[in-house]
Amino acid sequence: MTIIPAVPEPGSAGITNDDMKFFFPDSQDQVDPSFDFETETRDEFRIRQRNDRYAHEIFAQPPFNGILVSKAIVMGSGESSGKYSLPQRHRLLRLGVEEFFRLPKGDGRPETMGDCGAFSYVKEEYPPFSVESVAEFYEQCGFDYGISVDHAILAFHSEDYHVDPELDLVPAEFVKRQRITIDLAHDFLKLSQREKCGFVPVGVAQGWSPSSYAMAVKQLQDMGYEYIALGGMVPLKTKEILSCLERIQQVRRAGTRFHLLGVTRCEQIGRFRDYGVVSFDSTSPFLQAFKDDRNNYHTPDRTYTAIRVPQVEGNPKLLRSIRAGEINQEVALKLEGACLRALRDFDRGKATVEEVLEPIAEYERLYDGKRDRTASYRQVLEDSPWKQCPCDVCRAAGIHVIVFRGSERNKRRGFHNLWIFYRKLQRDLGLLEQPLALVDAP
């Protein structure tokens, strides 16, 4: 039995337009429903765009309030070709964002937000996208919100005196990038008003200190923006984000709302709301499933380490060691198979924790002799959190959701983390009619 926050339907009486909205940035992360975990094969007639499923299609309720799509991810920028194939780009532009992502209809439909993806061109002297091309992209795709073109400033100083552009202490590059961002926001708003665009224009504030952010926000408000995205805060610590919001509060006008771009530090999201933040986007819960060294599987109260069973024929590091003669391929394949069989037997009640740990530890010594995750693996096996989780991913995948191996398992675990994160968010914001629901294991 586990404690899972119960979430009201999006758009229902339990959630209002003033509540915090969580946007999930798209990077074409999908899973194949035809994938067979036992044989690790898939339908030979599978077409990725048609058959694979997004996170919001896996669950009965979407695990977020909206989707954020970057023009740089779709079209590419600089040396990056983006994550979309040419047919996918054409399909998005032809069908629009709502139909492309097969978003559910009705009042509970996740909202859509477009941005430029400033971090993809942060090393360039000037943003590669024009205001006209960005507005056209947003309009053609049918986004609900469109974020102005910006240029990220990758530095932060807590001292307010750094805001004065006349001081030598402020690098000219910071001032230049902020000026570019402000000028482009001005042109973007004028164009969207002149062309009567269907999206809500969102201006971007870039800064290098609390006061510089406040200065940018003030200028954007003077232009007429009521919805402002705060950019460049990805590397900031929570106390630094709060210091910026506190300073911005001094110039914030009644009705001005804020979006936090790419903020992964969400432990104080309730406090952010007190300063006018109504939305944010983050990939952190999803990426932790396969990017983090330890915190791979989330529950309402803690995280667990996923059990690593790398593919001998699909893991670049393992293959290099085999080719170098450091690892015997036959031995590796034998241990890999033994790990998978032990995990399946454990999930069916036919193997003990010790019987599972033995081949897993032996395999780990073979491919990574410097690590010993036995204690973490023992904890997750003893607790078996996937058996207690009522989410659609855990019900369908079983023990495979805790196995760190290949994108089909890893992304499903990421989707599970999104589901948990969204419910914890609603709980922490006090938006649940029943703060906690006791759900029996299936």
Please pick, among 52, 115, 144, 150, the residue that the annotation labels catalytic: 115
Q: What angle separates helix 316-323 from helix 353-367, to the nearest 10 degrees? A: 60
> Annotated catalytic, 281?
yes
Tell me phi and psi for residue 79, to 5 degrees. Answer: -80, -15
In the set 29, 52, 150, 281, the catalytic residue is: 281
Q: Closest Cα partner for 55 from 407, 427, 419?
A: 419
Shortest CA distance to 409 belongs to which of 308, 338, 333? 308
Whole-structure pTM value: 0.90
Strands 303-304 and 297-298: antiparallel
Cα–Cα distance between 284 and 260 in angstroms, integer? 14
Q: At what angle do helices 238-249 and 210-223 cross, to 10 degrees?
A: 50
Cross-strand partners of 3: 438
Token pair for 251? 């110039």
Domain architecture of the chain: domains with CATH:
65-282 (3.20.20.105), 293-420 (no CATH)
pLDDT of residue 156: 85
Residue carrying structure tokens 């780009």:
89
Burial of 161 (0-12, 13-18, 19+ CB in 10 A): exposed
Q: Cβ of 109: how many Cβ atoms within 10 Å?
A: 17
How far apart, in whole angstroms, are the C-alpha atoms of residue 324 and residue 317?
11
For 88, residues 6+ apart whose C-beta sits below 8 A from its C-beta are 28, 49, 74
Three-state SS at 64: coil
* 292 among known catalytic residues: no
Residue 368's contacts (CB-CB under 8 Å, 6 or more residues apart) are none
Can you tell me whether residue 298 is helix, strand or coil? Answer: strand
At position 406, the amino acid (one-letter code) is G
φ/ψ (deg, to 5) at 24: -100, 120
pLDDT of residue 8: 38
Cα within 13 Å of Cα(339), Cβ side: 26
pLDDT for res 164: 53
The CA-to-CA distance between both ends of the chain, in Å, stands at: 9
Question: Can you list the residues of the chain whose pLDDT is less than 50?
Answer: 1-17, 161-163, 166, 434-442
Q: What are phi and psi of 184, to 5 degrees?
A: -70, -35
Burial class (CB in 10 A: 0-12, 13-18, 19+), 103: buried
Which tens digit of pLDDT belongs to each residue from 372-429? 999 999 999 999 999 999 999 999 999 999 999 999 999 999 999 999 999 998 887 7
Q: Which of 206, 189, 205 is nearest to 197 (CA)?
A: 189
Lookup: tokens for 315: 């893991």
What is the distance between the alpha carbons of residues 177 and 205, in angstroms, rounded to a whole number?
Answer: 11
pLDDT at 6: 40
Q: Which residues contact 253 (CB under 8 A, 6 or more apart)?
A: 221
What is the pLDDT at residue 79? 67
Return the structure tokens found at 378. Answer: 């023992």
> 358-365 — which CB contacts under 8 Å span 24+ positions?
359/335, 360/307, 360/309, 362/335, 363/309, 363/332, 363/335, 363/336, 363/338, 363/339, 364/308
Element (H, E) at 353: helix 353-367
